[in-house]
């Protein structure tokens, strides 16, 4: 067979997805562990999408997430790449640094209010 007759198969370009890096996951899992020890969290989920990565923390397994830690690199210059979102969709804290954004979990006044 000649080289002209061989159809070259180009590997399909995998759609790039945003993900948390290992140091980011370490910080997030540290916060998650503290919430589990305090009885405020029982489960988590990680999502990777084209425009953002999400770490969702659940109080109970079958509910919507109590908190979402969102990484959106496109917003890094404007508002900061990291945001902590509450259960009702409110932005609790936003920042360019993940550790600064996660500081919202360090406050004593921050507790879960049952409705």
Q: Looking at the predicted structure, is the pLDDT value of residue 5 above 70?
A: no
Token couple for 72: 């959106």
Q: Looking at the predicted structure, is the pLDDT value of residue 114 above 80?
A: no
Residue 74, judged by CB atoms within 10 A of its CB (0-12, 13-18, 19+), counts as: exposed
Question: What mean pLDDT is predicted for residues 30-35?
Answer: 93
Name the nearest CA neighbour of 79 among 101, 103, 102, 95: 95
Question: What mean pLDDT is predicted for residues 42-50?
Answer: 93
Residue 12 confidence class, pLDDT cut points 50, 70, 90: very low
Question: What mean pLDDT is predicted for residues 16-32?
Answer: 93
Global pTM? 0.77
Q: Can you give the pLDDT at residue 46? A: 95
């Amino acid at each position: 067979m000649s080289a002209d007759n061989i159809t070259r198969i180009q590997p399909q370009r995998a759609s790039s997805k945003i993900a948390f890096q290992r140091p980011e996951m370490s910080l997030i899992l540290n916060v998650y562990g503290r919430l589990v020890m305090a009885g405020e969290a029982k489960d988590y989920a990680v999502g990777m999408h084209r425009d953002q990565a999400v770490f969702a923390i659940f109080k109970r397994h079958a509910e919507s997430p109590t908190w979402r830690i969102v990484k959106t690199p496109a917003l890094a210059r404007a508002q900061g790449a990291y945001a902590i979102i509450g259960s009702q969709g409110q932005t609790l804290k936003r920042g360019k640094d993940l550790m600064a954004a996660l500081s919202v979990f360090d406050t004593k006044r921050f507790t879960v209010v049952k409705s």
